[in-house]
Amino acid sequence: MSENKTKAPEKAPQAAPQRGPGARSRGPASMSQIKGSIGSLKRVLKIYVGYFPKLVWVIVLCILVGAITAAVPSIFQKNILSIITDTWETGDWAGARPQVLSYLIPLVCLYVLALAMAILQSQVIAFMTQKFLARLREDLFDKMQRLPLKYFDTHKHGEIMSHYTNDIDTLRQLVSMALPNILRNVILLVTVFGIMLYYSIWMTLILCLGFVLMLVITGKVGAGSAKYFIRQQKAVASAEGFIQETMNGQKVVKVFNHEDQAIKSFEELNQTLVSDSGKANAYANILAPIINNIGNIIYVLLAVVGGLMIYFHTPNLSFSGEIFSIAIMVPFLNMCKQFMGNLNQLTMQMNAIVMAGAGAERIFALLDQDPETDDGYVTLVNCEIAPDGTVTEADHNTGHWAWKHPHQADGTITYQVLEGDVRLTEVDFAYVPEKQVLYDVTVFAKPGQKVAFVGATGAGKTTITNLINRFYDIADGKIRYDGINVNKIKKKDLRRSLGLVLQETNLFTGTVMENIRYGKLDATDEECRQAAVLAGASDFIERLPDGYNTMLTNNGSNLSQGQRQLIAIARAAVADPPCLILDEATSSIDTRTEAIVQRGMDKLMEGRTVFVIAHRLSTVQNSDVIMVLDHGRIIERGSHDQLIAEKGVYYQLYTGAFELE
């Protein structure tokens, strides 16, 4: 075994102080954030427009419904008023009835047609919305699976979940309600404006003055609400993240009587959310009263001007060529009300637009994250080994594996039998640049050897195994697997060759059999049972209500911690990897169960390279090599007997003289 090289001791930088659970930036959203929201909305619309054939149907139906809703009443009202005015002068009420009916019957038919088209439009929109949201959720989940572990280390899981719930819901409101309403209101506004302009240019110009005033006010208020809606989305994510974190740690909260502090921390987050939401909605909700009152003022002004025009017989400047009269003024004023009402509804969609912009920005922030890179080109393949040692690739499971190594220089391909020779040479590593974790670590694990790491929490034991898996990339040094630099091996193939049992067990919703098969998806039921027997899990599994078909939910909460760990070990066993990493694999198992598991683990470890991380020194005594780590450095290495004979740090740990700090 190579001796660890020594360097002058370096003091590891101290970690930056952590903020409290409720701490976060309270400054208002910047203009760059607002521009980012607008840019995100453009990306949403670009995806939405991708459903072009169905979107065309929505637009056509909106135009038809809007045209009928806006134009028909005004035209019919003018004609019916003309009939009533003429009848009032002639007194022929009997003759007026057929004329009125001739307009009313088509009017009813048109409204029925508009209703049918509106129903069809809503169905098409509902279908498009679900397709759109399904694609976004799939894109989010697909991207999440390709992100490096560092992303999940630096982002709360509750905040990530908020993308799938709160942020997606803001986009649902945008595409299912806000956008169709905006389209419908714009069509109504254009239609009504065109009819009003046709009836009277002078009166329409007065309306335009009020319209410009409304746009100015909407722009001012909208900018204010946008800042706080962006903050509201972040506040919602923080609150949801805290709720999930507290829910997952509910036992810890209760055992330490932390309920009151948890409530206080949540109240701080909740008050932040209330404050941001209140300010956002205060800006947004002020629009409706302003628009309504401006609309009322314009309505009164038009009534006065129209009355004066009729009284003084003012020539009507219009495209219709008709004299301004009560038959024009009444429908014009009604159209003014309709115009202002639609404009008010249009401005009220700003809430949904701004919230969707903030939600979209957060969603695309995740989608734009750099995925886990993989420049490897060496793959793991089934192989056959001839008596003379020649290795050839096989298209079926042979029980033997080899690294397929294409050489770019000459185009040749070589095959290296997978043996499990893992070597770390002078490795340095830091999770963040300012805090180095490993210093000049050198580890040689020959095929079939059992290498154990012992040391205090934070000494770097788990970090070493994370580097072997390439969950993180080293800053300096080399890691070679069967003589091949791990950077050249595709990550999926590298990890396929490594079995991993973590200290923290993760079981998924499904049967016990399905959780064991997670280690090898094409494993037969018999292979899964053999793996359970090997891990010492078969006895308790067969005593479960439905045996291997027992459903596990909520991370296997219906099992004991030790039983969950045994299933995790069986999951690693069914994968039959040539190299095993056991990170405190028996830490949650009692002494009696540990003895059962240890027998199974000994069988599982036969002929395999094994890395063991353990606090119980009794579990590593039979290791070929034991490495003692302290603050990221290997300070001792050797077999159990060698280290005991040296009477160094390991000896004092074993005898209980002191513990590493």
Q: What is the pTM of this model?
A: 0.71
pLDDT of 23 over the 60 cut: no
Specify the domain boundaries for CATH 1.20.1560.10 within the chain: 33-367
Q: Per-residue pLDDT tens for 591-635?
A: 776 676 676 677 777 778 999 887 778 778 888 999 999 889 999
DSSP letters spanning 133-149? HHHHHHHHHHHHHTS-H
For residues 451 and 622, give the distance between their C-alpha atoms in angstroms, rounded to a whole number: 10
CB of 61 closer than 8 Å to CB of 128 = no
The set of residues, in sequence order, having a beta carbon less than 8 Å from that of 519 and lying 6+ positions away, is 499, 531, 570, 571, 572, 573, 574, 575
For residues 579 and 419, give the distance between their C-alpha atoms in angstroms, rounded to a whole number: 8
Task: Tell how strand 422-432 and strand 476-481 pair up.
Answer: antiparallel
Per DSSP, what are the bridge partners of residue 392?
A: 384
pLDDT of 151 over the 90 cut: no
The set of residues, in sequence order, having a beta carbon less than 8 Å from that of 422 and lying 6+ positions away, is 443, 445, 468, 479, 480, 481, 579, 609, 611
CB of 59 closer than 8 Å to CB of 182 = no
Specify the domain boundaries for CATH 3.40.50.300 within the chain: 426-654
Q: What is the pLDDT of residue 52?
A: 63
270: closest CA among 236, 247, 295? 236
CATH code, 33-367: 1.20.1560.10
Architecture of domain 426-654: 3-Layer(aba) Sandwich (3.40)
Q: What is the pLDDT of residue 529?
A: 93
Q: For residue 361, give Cα distances in angstroms to 163, 233, 352, 355, 368.
A: 10, 10, 14, 10, 10
Give the mean pLDDT of 257-275.
85
- Arithmetic mean of pLDDT over the chain: 81
pLDDT of 2 over the 70 cut: no
Q: What is the pLDDT of residue 415?
A: 92
Q: Is 653 helix (H, G, I), strand (E, B) or coil?
A: helix
Q: How many CB atoms are located within 10 Å of the residue 503 CB?
A: 17
Phi, psi of 475 (to 5 degrees): -85, -35
Q: For residue 126, give Cα distances in angstroms to 133, 169, 172, 588.
A: 11, 14, 10, 50
Q: Per-residue pLDDT tens for 562-576?
A: 788 888 888 888 888
pLDDT of 26 over the 70 cut: no
Dihedral (Cα; 583, 586, 587, 593), 10-degree rounding: 170
